[in-house]
Chains A and B, each alone.
Chain A
Amino acid sequence: MRRYSTHNKRKRLNPVLLLVLLLTASLTILLGRAILTTDYQTERLGDDVAQFQKLSGVESPVTAVLLNFRGYDTLLEVMVLLMAVVGVWSLTQAPFPGKPIEPGPVQLAVVRLLTPLMVLFAFYLVWKGSSLAGGAFQGGAVLGGACVLMLVSELPWIKNIPSRHLRIGLLAGPFVFLGTAILCLILEGTFLAYPQGWAGSLLLLIETACAVSIGLTLACLFAGGRPKDDLSRGRKR
């Protein structure tokens, strides 16, 4: 504690830090001025969104933008999530304790009660995403929460999930999304142009697959590394 405070004290006297403080303060002022002088554009993309809402297959404008009008962004973003997991897996193995700890009765009861509820709620969020605030990311976050709950209660089977299953789960969202996009390319002639009348159901399919993958992604990020059996499979030598 004492070392910490002296550390801080030395910092405050540093002239370089003062300079940095001055610079960031002036940056704030400059940017603040820029915000104040912005003449607000009345024409926004929001008007176009409202105009084409009916064609998008969903009622919620945010979901329409996210998955239809700017669906390409979301496709890349799902890839970003996957790459984070690949990156984490390439760095280290998941640090599971060697001995499984027997979870207490209260903990077990909580997990047993809450997990199904959370999963149910996650899919409700995905389902509702077409008309209200909700969707793959919100649902995926709840699903991820359920997975994390199971992870922290150290259920014995959790760490024995084969890495192949995890991979398939992680890839489900990107595969379905990219596959649908390519299917659109083949059927409609344009990447990510959903066929007329099918948009709603295709979006729901994509959202469901993505929610599962996002939930798993978050759990894998929380676990903090690749599963143990990740390299023992594959080529024999």
Chain B
Amino acid sequence: MITNLLYSFGGLMLFSMGLFALIACSHPLRKILAINVMATGVFLILIATAYRQIGTGEIDPVPQAMVLTGIVVSVSVTALALILACRVQETSNHSLIQRKKDDFTRTGT
């Protein structure tokens, strides 16, 4: 039970720390990393959920399968985010850090 709670709280801490960093940091790479830390936190809680009872030695395979799915999704999304961020740095003269007001008002087809 204690181990289980330890994992859950660890995951929760990671989730909140990631959330804070996501809001506080302005650098795109840090934001992506923050999202990753949050995802790891969620997966940790999910893994803790797989734990069932002392003594039976059984684990619930459903959360484990869910974690696998989640990790795969997280990997692909991270890759997309990283390349999008690189692309933004390349194509625009200013980086995502110093966003200008006119980004919001400029349109194009």
Contacts and interface: CB of A to CB of B under 8 A. Distances in A.
A87 B19 CA distance: 26
Nearest to A21: B20
B73 interface: yes
Nearest to A53: B61
Contacts of A81: 72, 75-76
B72 A24 contact: no
Contacts of A85: 76
Given A31-B12, A46-B61, A224-B86, 15 more contacts: A24-B19, A27-B19, A31-B15, A35-B9, A42-B53, A45-B60, A45-B62, A46-B58, A61-B61, A77-B69, A81-B72, A84-B80, A85-B76, A221-B76, A222-B79
Contact of A77 (B17, B19, B64, B72): B72
B29 interface: no
A80 B52 contact: no
B24 A88 contact: no
Interface of B: 5, 8-9, 12-13, 15-17, 19-20, 23-24, 45, 52-53, 58-62, 64-65, 68-69, 71-73, 75-77, 79-80, 83-84, 86-87, 90
Contacts of A88: 79-80, 83
B52 A44 contact: yes
A46 B53 CA distance: 12
Contact of A80 (B5, B73, B83): B73
A54 interface: no
12 contacts: A20-B24, A24-B17, A24-B23, A27-B19, A28-B13, A44-B52, A46-B61, A49-B60, A73-B69, A88-B79, A214-B72, A217-B76
Interface in A183-237: 214, 217-218, 221-222, 224-225
A65 B65 contact: yes
Nearest to A133: B64
Contacts of A35: 5, 8-9, 12, 45
Given A49-B62, A62-B68, A225-B83, A17 B24 contact: yes
A32 interface: yes
A227 to B, nearest CB: 15
A2 to B, nearest CB: 17
Q: Is the interface of A mostly helix, strand, loop or mixed?
A: helix
A42 B58 CA distance: 12
Interface string A60-95: 011011100010011001001101110110011000
Contact of A44 (B23, B62, B84, B86): B62
A112 interface: no
A27 B77 contact: no
Question: Which 7 residue pairs are nearest across A and B when measured between Cβ atoms?
Answer: A84-B76, A46-B60, A61-B61, A221-B79, A65-B65, A28-B16, A66-B65
A137 interface: yes
